[in-house]
Amino acid sequence: MNKLKTGLNLSDLTLGIELGSTRIKGVIIDQDNHTIASNDFVWENEFHDGIWTYDLNDAWEGIQAVFSMLKKKMQTKYGIELNTIGAIGISGMMHGYLPFDKKGHQIARFRTWRNTTTEEAAHELSELLQFNIPHRWSVAHLYQAILNQEEHVENLDYLTTLSGYIHWKLTGKKVLGVGDASGMFPIDSSIGDYNEEMSDQFNRLIQKHGYNWEFKEVFPKVLLAGEDAGELTAEGAKLIDPTGTLQAGIPLCAPEGDAGTGMVATNSILEQTGNVSAGTSIFSMIVLEKPLSDYYPEIDIVTTPDGKDVAMVHCNNFTSDINAWTQLFKEVVDLLGFETKESELFEKLFKQALKADKDIGQLVHCNYYAGEPITDTNEGRPLFARMPDSDFNLANFMKSQIYSALATLKIGMDLLTEKEQVKISSIVGHGGFFKTEYVGQKLMADALEVPITLMSTAGEGGAWGIALLAQYHLRKASYESLDIFLKKSVFKDIKGEELHPTIEGIADFKIYMKRYHAFLDVERKAIEVLI
């Protein structure tokens, strides 16, 4: 192996690639789990024929662009050619629908987590299994396609997620990390695999519709963190690096979803710990001490990458409306002949929100670009309303926007804490929402009524998390479990900054929530009449 100028060996480094909702990001970390190179590629979902989707060619373009930029950084910074590496990990947006036939051809457009067109299937499956099957889960998309009598289902040979697809093309292995798999179909955490009783029930259900394939024939094999997930093939190496520089034979860890990598990146895989990932969508992950007493449409049960049960409150909508308004404000600034960076504008607008009035001037937003199952809306209509006598100023406007983005998460979290008495000592926050110092952390703490902790690694996100899982894959023989690896190797010297909610802040958010609940009736009417 070539050695870096720093004395590090390429075999000690790992590469994490995450395909997020707006960015494809690559991170290289050293044996001390520090980021030594990173880069990203911007991509966007598209709305085609009523479906939120991405073109998979764009995924490969993004991966290749990210790797090319990482190669240049490694050459420039360390004087070394990135022709191999210790291990690679692939992460991606969870859920969704990526079906393939026996020849490996994609037979239907990729349906992402953002689609909420599976209400009939999700409801029927939840009733059958007595387990919440959310609209965005892969099995819900599959069964809805069956109910819709879509022709492509006849040719189905393999169904996977985005991370599972990329991993399959790189290694030839049809596998999936347990955390990502838990967003396809319910997992039995006692065995770390799909729930056998439920998969048998599903088999009997699809047989009634005339299909002769069985559940385990078309779903990926489930792997726990650290288990063998294959190696980079020559064909896979060319998909990452078309120049042919990258060598085959590099081990890959199990591919994981963005929820699992978020838990790893925030050291939130033990009971009573939790994290919130806040970006285009927002979701909280609370590791459970015991199973919930009932199932709720608002709460998903998924797992950590090592197979522990997690209560997940997932909201399809978070920053999209804030981003849109910020872009409008930037147009105004540009029109006046001033230049400002978008990141600087975001920071100033977020800080302005802290100057808002107690009742936020009676302003109210609904940030729904897409449907939101938690509030029983199957489409989105971004809305803003104010009273004739509202105090309509920038501070109130921005705080209303941020509160609106947090409101749906709060509805789901209240079920856990009030109905199930789930104890949460602290939540670790990560994602773009927290880039502006203090603001997002404070407003979320007040909204959820729980301390929010930010770590110095908060901005690294899921790409760093999957790079850590690749490191664990390399070094698992030295650690008895994933949580021990995180505790002793990754987070031993990382301290978080914890911010507690305030009485005044909690009261302000409760005032807003009363208005927000009433405004949801307006949102539902808007979906009905604005076509």
DSSP-assigned beta bridge partners for residue 286: 274, 311
Return the CA Rg of the chain.
Answer: 23
Helices assigned H by DSSP within 46-174? 56-78, 119-129, 138-147, 162-171
Distances (CA, A) of 53 to 23, 62, 115: 14, 16, 9
Tell me the C-alpha distance between 259 and 272, whole Å: 16
Q: Is the dihedral of CA 500, 289, 467, 138 positive or negative?
A: negative
H/E stretch holding 470 reads helix 461-475
Tell me the C-alpha distance between 197 and 438, whole Å: 47
Q: Report CA dihedral (51, 55, 58, 60) to the nearest 10 degrees.
A: 130
> Is residue 150 scored above 90 in pLDDT?
yes
* The two structure tokens encoding residue 433: 């929402």
Could you write out the DSSP letters of every residue in 108-127? S--B-TT----HHHHHHHHH
Written as one letter, the residue type at 452 is I
Distances (CA, A) of 406 to 181, 314, 391, 458, 475: 27, 11, 22, 19, 38
Written as one letter, the residue type at 530 is L
Domains of the chain: which residue ranges? 95-160+185-218, 320-454+501-529
Confidence class of residue 430 from pLDDT cuts 50, 70 and 90? confident
Please state whether beta strands 221-223 and 309-315 pair in parallel, antiparallel, or not at all (unpaired).
Answer: unpaired
pLDDT for 339-362, tens place per residue?
898 889 999 999 999 999 999 999
What is the pLDDT at residue 424?
Answer: 86
What's the whole-number mean pLDDT along residues 419-431?
87
Distances (CA, A) of 531 to 304, 494, 525, 528: 40, 50, 11, 7
* Other C-beta atoms lying within 10 Å of the C-beta of residue 240: 24
* The two structure tokens encoding residue 415: 């079920």
> Is residue 445 scored above 90 in pLDDT?
yes
Tell me the C-alpha distance between 10 and 28, whole Å: 10
Q: Which residue has the higher pLDDT, 164 or 291?
A: 164
**95-160+185-218 shares its CATH topology with 320-454+501-529:** yes
Task: Indicate the average pLDDT of the chain.
Answer: 93
* Other C-beta atoms lying within 10 Å of the C-beta of residue 121: 22
Tell me the C-alpha distance between 69 and 295, whole Å: 46
pLDDT for 166-214, tens place per residue?
999 999 999 999 999 999 999 999 999 999 999 999 999 999 999 988 9
What is the pLDDT at residue 2?
Answer: 46
What's the whole-number mean pLDDT along residues 23-52?
93
Confidence class of residue 19 from pLDDT cuts 50, 70 and 90? very high
What's the whole-number mean pLDDT along residues 462-482?
95
What's the whole-number mean pLDDT along residues 264-276?
89
> Is residue 4 scored above 70 in pLDDT?
no
What is the pLDDT at residue 7?
Answer: 62
Residue 493: Cβ-neighbour burial (10 angstroms; 0-12, 13-18, 19+): exposed
**Going along 398-521, which residue ranges are E strands?**
426-430, 452-454, 497-499
129 and 71 Cβ atoms separated by less than 8 Å: no
pLDDT for 60-92, tens place per residue?
999 999 999 999 999 999 888 999 999 999 999
What's the whole-number mean pLDDT along residues 361-367?
97
What is the pLDDT at residue 9?
Answer: 87
Lowest mean pLDDT among 257-271, 353-367, 423-437, 480-494: 423-437
Tell me the C-alpha distance between 188 and 56, whole Å: 31
> Is residue 485 scored above 70 in pLDDT?
yes
Residue 528: φ, ψ to 5°: -70, -40
How many residues are listed for the chain in this entry? 531
Residue 529: Cβ-neighbour burial (10 angstroms; 0-12, 13-18, 19+): exposed
What's the whole-number mean pLDDT along residues 369-376?
90
What is the pLDDT at residue 411?
Answer: 95
What is the pLDDT at residue 8?
Answer: 63
What is the pLDDT at residue 460?
Answer: 61
Task: Indicate the DSSP class of residue 253.
Answer: P
Confidence class of residue 469 from pLDDT cuts 50, 70 and 90? very high
What's the whole-number mean pLDDT along residues 45-52?
91
Residue with tokens 């952390």: 441
pLDDT for 255-268, tens place per residue?
999 989 989 998 99
Helices assigned H by DSSP within 241-373? 258-265, 320-335, 342-353
* The two structure tokens encoding residue 63: 């991966």
Confidence class of residue 461 from pLDDT cuts 50, 70 and 90? confident
What is the pLDDT at residue 334?
Answer: 94
Task: Indicate the DSSP class of residue 276.
Answer: E
The CATH topology of domain 320-454+501-529 is Nucleotidyltransferase; domain 5 (3.30.420)
DSSP-assigned beta bridge partners for residue 194: 187
Tell me the C-alpha distance between 387 and 192, whole Å: 53
Q: Which CATH class is domain 95-160+185-218?
A: alpha beta
Please state whether beta strands 364-366 and 175-177 pair in parallel, antiparallel, or not at all (unpaired).
Answer: unpaired
What is the pLDDT at residue 240?
Answer: 98
Tell me the C-alpha distance between 140 and 120, whole Å: 9
**Intra-chain end-to-end CA distance of the chain, in Å:** 60
What is the pLDDT at residue 6?
Answer: 54
> Is residue 439 scored above 80 in pLDDT?
yes
pTM metric for this prediction:
0.83
Confidence class of residue 401 from pLDDT cuts 50, 70 and 90? very high
The distance of Cα 57 from the centroid of its chain, to the nearest Å, equals: 21
310 SS3 class: strand
> Is residue 1 scored above 50 in pLDDT?
no
Confidence class of residue 459 from pLDDT cuts 50, 70 and 90? low
